[in-house]
Every structure is written in C-alpha cells, then in structure tokens.
Structure 1
Amino acid sequence: MRKLILTVFIFINIITLAQRKSVLIFHSYHSGLEWTDNITKGIKKAFTSANDSIELYFEYLDRKRNLGDEYYAQLEKLYLIKTQNWDYDAIIACDNAALDFTLEHRETYFKNTPIIFCGINNYSDDLITNQKNITGIIEDPDFMATISLIKMNHPLVTDLHIINDNKTKTAIENKKVLEKIEKQFPYSLNFHYWENLSINEIANNLKELTYKDAVLLSTYNKDKDGNFISFKKNREFIPKDYSIPVYTTWKFFLYGSVIGGKIISGEDQGYRAGLKALQVVHGVNADSIPINKSSLSEYMFSYEMLKKFNINKRSIPKNSQILGEPQSFYTINKKIIFLIAIIFTATIIIILILTKAIIRTLNAEKSLMAKQKDLQKRYQFEKVNAKIVSLLNSTNDFTFVIDKILEEIAENYLIDKVSLYSLNNQARVENVIGSKTINNSSIRELNKDEYFHLERFIKIVNNEGLFISPDLSNLIAEEKKFYRSRVINAIALFPLKIGENMFGLAALAHHSPIKWSDEQINEITILIRLISNAWERNFQMNKHLKAEQKIAKASQMVSQASRMASIGVMASGITHEINQPLNALRVTVDSIKFWDKRNTGQIPEIVTNKFSTLSKGINRIDEIIKHMRSFWIAPTENDLFEQIDLTRAILNAYSLIERQIKEHHIKCTINIPPEELLVRANFIQVEQILINLVINAIQALDKTSIKNKSIDISIINHEDRAILMVSDNGTGIDSTIGDRLYDPFYSTKKEGTGLGLALVKTFVDRIKGNINYQNNNNGGVTFYITIFKANKLQAK
C-alpha cells in the first residue's frame, strides 16, 4: 500500500512539472519604483491560487530613468540576445513603454505570445491594430472627477497648480488630457503647469501659495535637468502640516498631507491583469477576453486630511474609501464576538485534532531522530572505512600507514590501545606490526618474552572468530592479574585471516571496563578484514617485486590502477549504503510534508520548519552521492573527446571543494568567462584536474604561516584554446624537480601519495592538452592547463 501511495505521489509530481506554465512580466520602469512594485504585488496576488504550477519571470526596461535613443537601441540588442531561448505562455506588458516595445518586436522576440497589458495611458484601438491574441486594462486617471472634487470641497480656490514634468511619456500624455479639461473651467479655475522646475523651485513655489490655491500631484519623474525623481521624493515636496489642499489621482501619493481624489491603484491594475493572464494560461484566447477601456479609478481619501480641512463625509462621493478612519465600537466588538463564537465552537475539535497530531508528530520526530542518529553512525563508519581504504591504497607497503590506520580505529571507537601482531607457522606471536596508544594511556606494549600470554586467546580466536572480554570476567585468575597489572580492564581480539589461514592478530585494550555493541564489533571486524586483505596483498606484492625487479615501474602502475579502482568501488559502496537509509528518510519526510499540506495547520510551524530543513539536507546529501557516482565512472574512448562547457565544469568542481577551502581559511578568487566555453574533453576528468590542483595548493598553504592565504582560478580564452590557471601564494616548487613532479608515487610531501599530479598529467595527455608550471611572484606556484576548443581540436 505504501509503495502504491508513493508511486501515485511521484506520478502526480511528474504530471505537475510537465504542465508547469511560465509568464513574463515586462515592466516599463525599474524595480523599486512604487508604481512598478505595486503592479508586481497585484500580479503575484492574482497568481497565488496557482501555487507552483505557474512560474513568473520579470524584466524591466527602466524607461523612467533612461529615455535616450541610444539606450533604446542597446535595449533592442540586449533583448535580441536574451529572447533567443524564451518560451512563455503569456506576457503581461506593464505601462506604455513595455507594450510599445513588445508590439514593435513581437514577431522577432516574442513569437506571437499572448499579451495582457495594464497601466496604459491614452489608449485607443489604433494602438493594437492588426494585433491578435491581446487584451488588457487601461490606466485612465480621472482628472476631471478629481478637479471637480477640488472645486466642490474648496469653493474659494481659483488657481490649480499641477506638478507634472515635460519629459516622460506619461507626463506628456497627462498634460494633453488636462489641457482638454482646462477648457471646461474657462473662468472659475486657472491651470498652472509646474513642469520644467527643479525640486527646490517646486518647494519654494509651494511656500508662496495661499487659500485661493490648490495642488494636483501628477507625474513628475524628471526635473528640468533630466534627473530622475522618485514618487517618494514627489511626496516629500509636500511639507508636513501643509495648509493648502493637495489632491492626486494615484494611490502611491496618498500619504502625508494629500487629501485624496479619484485614485488609480497599481496593485489593482496588476491584480486585474494577472486574472486575465490566468485565463490565457489555462487556454482562453486573449482576443475573447474584453479589454477594460473605462477608468478603474476609485474615490479614496485620507481620514486625517478630511478632518484637517473640515470636509464632511457627506460631501464626498458614496462608497469612497477613507484610509485611516477609526472603527466604531460596534464594528470592533462584532468581529470579536464572531471570532469567539467560532473559537468556542471549534475548540474541542481543534484540541482533539492537535493532540492527536502532536502525538503523531512526536512519534515521527523520535523515529526520525533515531534514523538520523543511525545514519550519522553509518556515515561515520563509512568515513573511517574510506579513510582506511585510502591509506591502504596510498602505499605499496601497508606497514608505512598502519599506525595511522590503528589510530583511526582507536579514536573512532574510543579504545586506549590497538595493536597488530604477526603469527608464525606455529600460530604464535612473531612480532608487532603496529601499535597505537591514545588518550595518554599508560598501557605499554608487550615484550617478546610476554607473547606467550596471548597463546590461549589465539586458539580461541582461530576457532570462534573473535574473543571479547568487556570486564575481564571471562579470563582465568592469572590472566586477570597480568592484564590488570598493565592497567587493562577490557580486551577484544580479532583474527587476521586469508581463507582458513590465520596469520595475524588484532588486539584492542582499554583501561576501564567497556561495553562494545554488536554494531561496533561488526564494524571493527570489517576494518580488520580490510587490513587482512591489505596485509596479504602487501605480501604478494613484495614477493612479486622481488621476483620481477626489472619491471618494477610497470608493477607500480598496475598497483596504482588497482588502488584507484578500489577507491571507486569503495565510493560506490559508500553511496549505496548511504542511499538506503537516505531514501527511507526522504520518503518519511516527504510523506509527512504531503500529509501536512493536505491537513494545513495541524502540525506546529516549528515542526514543519524542521522538516523543511531536514528535506533540504537530504537533497544536498543526494546531490553529493550522485556526483560521487558520476565522479568515479571511467570514461570511454569517445567520452574523452566529448564537447563540454569548460566554465560549467570548473564551477561544478569548485562547488565540491569550496567548503574545504573556507575551512582552511583560504580566500579563493575565480575569474572565468561568463559565457559558455566549449572544449573537447571529459567533464569528470576536467573536474578531477581542478580538484587535484586545488587540493595540492591547500596542502602547500597549510605549511605556511602567512595571514592572507589565497588561491586564484582563472580561464584565459584564446583563439583556438582555453588555458586554465591555478595559482597560490604557498611554498612554491624546487626548480630541481622538473617534470619528475608528474611521476607516479613521486611526492614532495611526507604524507603525499604521489598520485594527484600524475593523474592530472594523465588526464591532460588523454585530451591532447598541455600542462606546465612555474613559481610566481607571490611565493607560490602557478599551473597552466591548455585545452583545445571543440572545433579547433576536431579540425586538427
């Protein structure tokens, strides 16, 4: 049943993704302009019900601040590039500039996409002649109604001062409308246009007005010097407690000392346009949706200003919106009573539902925490496992790294001492291969004359597979005395075998009694088997090297390939082991989130937030696992010369090592072309090249004590090739080393494997590229990787 539900859930998600629509909101002006932002707010409100089925994209022409022909010409070039891959289901053109641009370039840029316009001044049908699949809403400021209000509410006013510029298209069109209205007041009202003034000049003029004057805020976005003036600055023209009546036709001016008027709302324009766009997206032809040609203005007033100018509510139109009006006692209490009734009716049901939901949530949280803890343990084990495998595969002689391996086991399982003994043909201890003590433990290693104390345990381990004594209670008296005299109160012994042949013994000792869990014993057993395999492999390898000294270098290369394959197998094993609990965790979290979506509000918000955080973490782990899998896939011969984007490969590789760079307190600078750069190479191997070079740089910088450690990653785009440069300000490279730096197993670091740069050289040679290096002026080294571009290499 669970599998069926999961399958249906996944199927629904796939259908939803396939049906997802996209809508372009094309603004005439810039983001941050109140009119623009209000339209955006209204559009988003209209699309709220669409959830994730429709994606909104925004473009801004910025024509308030940039009016020149040169700017317009550059816009045409820009959108010629940007629209190449555009495929929208509808376009909402906001204001005249955006609509003009869209119609002018509709066939070239927008592929006859349905258009919904809003905020259009001085609309006429000629504007969309011969256009199909188009509808919209006009922006028709009702200046006549607002001016009539001024005359009615302020009968002594004889002069109307209109703040309006003479540069922006909207302002110029507004003046044409006002000039027609002016003719209807030939004697009772004088019109004065403040349209070629600076901010200071407007402010000074306002101070000179008297009781016979009134102000109308129109469109003033450019001063006489062509500087852009925001709507916010327009409002600031009007001083606080200004005694002259000020009216407007736009909602964003309705603040401070502005009384009101017949108002156009950007949010309302956007909302209505959004509703029409929803119809279009759902299959309705735009031509069948009527264009709103009448004014959508509504009477709005400031309660504070009506009171200040003694304007009675009866003298303003009915159904006017009065902003800031105090609510009556009855209205307030009516809502409270209604809410109390609802709360009282639903209280018992809600309590029962919430109680049940909380219990389920707590149980689910406990289960998730347990699974998370188990996942963390598994991850920690896989991490130790991978590190031990890496150490074993980093050298021809595992005895060189055995102390590090034993230290990893001791620290991970909190064991005071871990020792490794080799056995002779009589199953007796021959010598100590490795031993590691942690936590400043006083436990010392056995002397040769004390090896006989292990003989009984060797027989038990050989027969039963292991021997565990968490408190020495299963030891004989003499053995207890011996171990306690050495401050040992817990031991665990594991065999090192190849088949049925036991050739070694791993011994764990602790100063106090300790209870090892079955899971820990199983994990330690796996790690001991890895050591057994490495021990046997080391024996066979040394035997082979002695017999075949003339082909030593060839054997080293075979060993290198074997170790790299082992790392790939282990990485695959790690991702497989992590994927099982990860998928279970993902299903649990997604199921709970799905249930919560269907039962909104029944799980506390803090819990749903935790689930969201957990879901993001799971997705991040899944991305890492997928990349680990692809990272170790050996490329075919054809894959070595596939066409790839070098910039994307470099950014992808950097995302994997970015955290490590930051943890080492290193500043990394990336300077790569913003455009696509196609080369002939293998994507994963290019990632490996960068990762190996950066890791070498990090290790070099760790040896220095400089404060400002840095790594620079750059790509130079030449005519027929690209050059990848990786620089650091670390220790540099000795000039006597030369090309030996790329030899397998050659390393300048004690802890180095000598494989990193050898692999880089191999990958570069495969794609017919070049690699070289030189010390730079910053004290470090710069590596240069030359990769031929796709068309150039193919031509060669």
Structure 2
Amino acid sequence: MKKFGVYLAAVMTLALILAGSSPAADFAGKKILLVDSYHEGYEWSDGIVRGAKTALEGKGIEVKIFRMDTKRQSGEEYKKSVSLKAKALIDSFKPDVVITSDDNAAKYLVVPYLKNTATPVVFCGVNWDASVYGFPCKNVTGMVEVTPVPQLLEQLKPFAKGDRLGFIGPETLTSTKEAENISKAFGLRLEKYFSKNAEDWKTGFAELQNKVDILLVDSDGGLYADQSEELIAFVEANTKIPTGTSYDFMAPYALLDFAKVSEEQGLWAAETALKILGGASPDSIAIAQNKEGKLILNARIAQNLDQEIPYTLIEAANQVIQ
C-alpha cells in the first residue's frame, strides 16, 4: 500500500509537470515579431513591451522586437523606409504572428503590407479608432487606446474658474490625432498647441495658462526626456490653472493624472497572439479597448496653485507626488 502511495504521488507529480509545461511545448518553434512604432527608452513603449514579455515568458516562443523610432525621426520618407525594413524582417523571420504597437506601425506597415494577407496581426496602442485603418479585417484584430477624458475632467473642474479647455502636445501624428479624437468623441472645443521642440513647448504651456481654464497635457513622446528636469521646474513655476494628463510618466507635469496603463496593452496583445497560435482566427476576436487606470496627484503643483486638495481625492489617489 505504501509503494502504491509513492507510485501515485509520482504519477501525479509527473502529470502536473507535464500540464505545466504543455503551453511551452505547444508553442515551441513558434515565432512572434513585435513591431514598436517608437524607441526603447520611451516609457509608453517600454511598458507595452514589458506587458507582452510577461504573457510570452516561458512559452517556448522565439520573440523578436523591431523598433521603428518614428517619434524621434518623424519625416514621411523615413517612416516609409523603416516600414520597408520591418517588412523585410517579416519576410526573412517568417513570424507566426505580428504584434504592432501604436499608430505609425499600423499606418505605414500593416495597412500597405500585411492587411488582408495570411499573416495574423494583433495591434495595440492605436488611438481611439482603428476603423480609419480598415481594422478589424480577416487577419487583423487588436486593442485601441482611449483616453479617460470624462474621468479626468470630473476631477479637474472643481479647481477651474471656467470651462475653456486647452491641449498641448508635440507636433506628431499621435498627438494631433489625440486632440482631434478628444474633440470628436466628447464634443469638446479645444485651444490646441503643438510644439516643435522643448523650448516651444514651454512657450505654448505659458500662453495657454492665460487662454484656457483647464489644460490637458499630452505625452511628450519621449522627445523632451533629456530636458525633463528643466521642463518640470518650468511647469511647477508657471502653472496657474488646473492641468491633467493620462500618462503615468507625465505625472510630474500636471496637477492630476488619470493614467492609462501601457502594460495592459502589451499583455492583451500577447495573450491574443497566443490564442491565435492556439488556433483562433483573428476575425473571431473582437476589438478591445483599455480599461485599467490609476489616479496620481501632484502635490507640488497643487501647492504652487494654492489649491486645497480634498481629503477624499488624496485618499482615492494611487500615488501622491510630494
């Protein structure tokens, strides 16, 4: 009887080991290519990659990452040429699924070279509306990125003297599309400023303090990272109105941050890629949108604004910048 118990335990242990290893065994030899529209070191992109790696770790899949770097190199000809390089990598690497992040990969790679082909594509980080690219289609699905503007404005309005809204961001496709979609989706009139560089961003930020009552601060796209200390000091000294953002790495630039979670995008995209590797068809998977968020309060800016922050808001915040 004792021998039988030992034998049974051994069988059960082996079964558990095999069950735990079956996902990796199922996907052994499979390949996934992740095409990032931007660059390593840009916190939004880095979060997407972290999320994807979390889902793919230990699955036995060969993963490659191609970075288009279209934030720092935003010329039209460059975007087209780097997309051709990505397509050449797809032809040589022959991935079983391609994951793309953000709009430029969708616009310059997926639409001209992958849409309605035999290569399954999962996008993430496409701003607001994927139908502008003809998604979904037979081989493409993904997660769009929607900014929680109503939630952000709800928190900011008690600190505002009026209802004029402003928007500031870099002069990029992503930022201009963000402003357009906010206006369209919520019927809001925005006073917009798109900056050419960090100095121009400071000019726009200062101008909008006197033109609007609430300012929405878009991601800088990592373009001004080298001047972040200077810009944060400028913001703290020159903020006169309530400001809000939706990226955790932009929290030092705004009074309130209702932050989207980039890891959510990468995790969903990679888990969807696994479903496709498991036999699901892309056109059977509905387009999703982000749901996660965290509230960050910048007490340094609140102090400079001479605003009394309700205890309920402090208590609700996931993070307070002191």
Shorter-chain TM-score: what band?
Answer: 0.7 to 0.9
Superposed, which structure 2 residues align to 1:124-143 within 5 Å?
124-125=130-131, 127-128=133-134, 131-143=137-149
Indicate conservation of the 8 Å contact 2:66/2:86, yes or no: no
Indicate conservation of the 8 Å contact 1:251/1:266, yes or no: no
Task: Check if 1:94 corresponds to 2:101.
Answer: yes
Match of 2:264 in 1: 268
Q: AA paired with 2:127? A: N
- How many residues are matched? 294
Match of 2:312 in 1: 314
Q: Return the alpha-carbon distance in structure 1 between the equivalents of residues 215 and 166 of structure 2.
A: 5
Indicate conservation of the 8 Å contact 1:170/1:219, yes or no: no
Q: AA paired with 1:32? A: G
Indicate conservation of the 8 Å contact 2:50/2:266, yes or no: yes
The 3-state SS of whatever aligns with 2:73 is: coil
Indicate conservation of the 8 Å contact 1:117/1:136, yes or no: yes
Distance 1:192 1:282, change over 3 A: same
The 3-state SS of whatever aligns with 2:74 is: coil
Indicate conservation of the 8 Å contact 2:170/2:197, yes or no: no
Q: Return the alpha-carbon distance in structure 1 between the equivalents of residues 100 and 69 of structure 2.
A: 13
Task: Check if 1:40 corresponds to 2:64.
Answer: no
Q: Relative CO higher for 1 or 2, CA cutoff 8 Å, sep ≥ 6? A: 2
Q: Return the alpha-carbon distance in structure 1 between the equivalents of residues 268 and 285 of structure 2.
A: 12
Indicate conservation of the 8 Å contact 2:96/2:277, yes or no: yes
Indicate conservation of the 8 Å contact 1:162/1:217, yes or no: yes
2:223 to 225, 229, 237: 229
Superposed, which structure 2 residues align to 1:15-164 within 5 Å?
16=25, 19-48=28-57, 51=58, 53-79=60-86, 81-100=88-107, 101-106=109-114, 112-125=118-131, 127-128=133-134, 131-151=137-157, 153-157=158-162, 159-164=164-169
Distance 1:300 1:18, change over 3 A: closer
Match of 1:215 in 2: 215
Q: Return the alpha-carbon distance in structure 2 between the equivalents of residues 144 and 231 of structure 1.
A: 28
Distance 1:306 1:323, change over 3 A: farther
How far the C-alpha of 1:196 sits from its partner, in A, is 4.2
Q: Return the alpha-carbon distance in structure 1 between the equivalents of residues 321 and 27 of structure 2.
A: 49
Q: Return the alpha-carbon distance in structure 1 between the equivalents of residues 218 and 151 of structure 2.
A: 14
How far the C-alpha of 1:121 sits from its partner, in A, is 1.0
Q: Return the alpha-carbon distance in structure 1 between the equivalents of residues 192 and 298 of structure 2.
A: 28
Distance 1:236 1:263, change over 3 A: farther
Q: Return the alpha-carbon distance in structure 1 between the equivalents of residues 51 and 27 of structure 2.
A: 27
Indicate conservation of the 8 Å contact 2:169/2:201, yes or no: no
The 3-state SS of whatever aligns with 2:100 is: strand
Q: Return the alpha-carbon distance in structure 1 between the equivalents of residues 297 and 143 of structure 2.
A: 26
Q: Return the alpha-carbon distance in structure 1 between the equivalents of residues 319 and 70 of structure 2.
A: 31
Q: AA paired with 2:168? A: I
How far the C-alpha of 1:201 sits from its partner, in A, is 4.0
The 3-state SS of whatever aligns with 2:232 is: coil
Match of 2:3 in 1: none
How far the C-alpha of 1:315 sits from its partner, in A, is 5.0
Indicate conservation of the 8 Å contact 1:93/1:116, yes or no: yes
1:256-286 CA-partner distances (Å, limit 9, x unpaired):
3533333212122112222222222233222
1:176-203 CA-partner distances (Å, limit 9, x unpaired):
1243478557xxxxx4322145432443
The 3-state SS of whatever aligns with 1:91 is: strand
Distance 1:170 1:130, change over 3 A: closer
2:245 to 233, 243, 248: 248
Distance 1:279 1:172, change over 3 A: same
- In structure 2, runs of 5+ residues without a counterpart are 1-20
Q: Return the alpha-carbon distance in structure 1 between the equivalents of residues 129 and 202 of structure 2.
A: 33
Q: Return the alpha-carbon distance in structure 2 between the equivalents of residues 235 and 119 of structure 1.
A: 27
Q: Return the alpha-carbon distance in structure 2 between the equivalents of residues 22 and 207 of structure 1.
A: 49
Q: Return the alpha-carbon distance in structure 1 between the equivalents of residues 194 and 262 of structure 2.
A: 23
1:339-376 CA-partner distances (Å, limit 9, x unpaired):
xxxxxxxxxxxxxxxxxxxxxxxxxxxxxxxxxxxxxx
Q: Return the alpha-carbon distance in structure 2 between the equivalents of residues 130 and 210 of structure 1.
A: 43
Distance 1:303 1:184, change over 3 A: closer
Q: AA paired with 1:149? A: Q
The 3-state SS of whatever aligns with 2:170 is: coil
Q: AA paired with 1:148? A: E
Indicate conservation of the 8 Å contact 1:220/1:234, yes or no: no
Match of 2:12 in 1: none
1:575-634 CA-partner distances (Å, limit 9, x unpaired):
xxxxxxxxxxxxxxxxxxxxxxxxxxxxxxxxxxxxxxxxxxxxxxxxxxxxxxxxxxxx
Q: AA paired with 2:297? A: S
How far the C-alpha of 1:143 sits from its partner, in A, is 2.6
The 3-state SS of whatever aligns with 1:113 is: coil
2:285 to 289, 309, 330: 289
Indicate conservation of the 8 Å contact 1:257/1:305, yes or no: no
TM-score by length of 2: 0.75
2:170 to 149, 165, 177: 165
Indicate conservation of the 8 Å contact 2:141/2:287, yes or no: yes
Distance 1:171 1:217, change over 3 A: same
The 3-state SS of whatever aligns with 2:31 is: strand
Q: AA paired with 1:165? A: P
The 3-state SS of whatever aligns with 2:266 is: helix
Indicate conservation of the 8 Å contact 2:38/2:69, yes or no: yes
Question: Identity of aligned pairs, percent?
Answer: 22
How far the C-alpha of 1:54 sits from its partner, in A, is 1.5
TM-score by length of 1: 0.33
The 3-state SS of whatever aligns with 2:287 is: coil
How far the C-alpha of 1:37 sits from its partner, in A, is 1.0
Indicate conservation of the 8 Å contact 1:34/1:231, yes or no: no
Distance 1:201 1:128, change over 3 A: closer
Q: Return the alpha-carbon distance in structure 2 between the equivalents of residues 17 and 55 of structure 1.
A: 13
Indicate conservation of the 8 Å contact 2:300/2:321, yes or no: no
Indicate conservation of the 8 Å contact 1:23/1:57, yes or no: yes
Cα RMSD, aligned residues only: 3.7
How far the C-alpha of 1:253 sits from its partner, in A, is 0.9
Superposed, which structure 2 residues align to 1:223-622 within 5 Å?
229-230=223-224, 233=227, 236-239=230-233, 241-242=236-237, 244=240, 245-254=242-251, 256-293=252-289, 295-302=290-297, 304=299, 308=303, 309-314=307-312, 320-324=316-320
How far the C-alpha of 1:52 sits from its partner, in A, is 5.2
Distance 1:236 1:112, change over 3 A: farther
- In structure 1, runs of 5+ residues without a counterpart are 1-11, 186-190, 222-227, 327-796
Distance 1:155 1:196, change over 3 A: closer
How far the C-alpha of 1:292 sits from its partner, in A, is 0.7
Indicate conservation of the 8 Å contact 1:158/1:213, yes or no: yes
1:134-183 CA-partner distances (Å, limit 9, x unpaired):
321100112333233221x31325554421234x2111211212434785
Q: AA paired with 2:32? A: V
Distance 1:53 1:217, change over 3 A: same
Indicate conservation of the 8 Å contact 1:26/1:93, yes or no: yes
Distance 1:140 1:88, change over 3 A: same
Match of 2:16 in 1: none
Indicate conservation of the 8 Å contact 2:136/2:287, yes or no: no
Indicate conservation of the 8 Å contact 1:142/1:297, yes or no: no
Distance 1:169 1:200, change over 3 A: closer
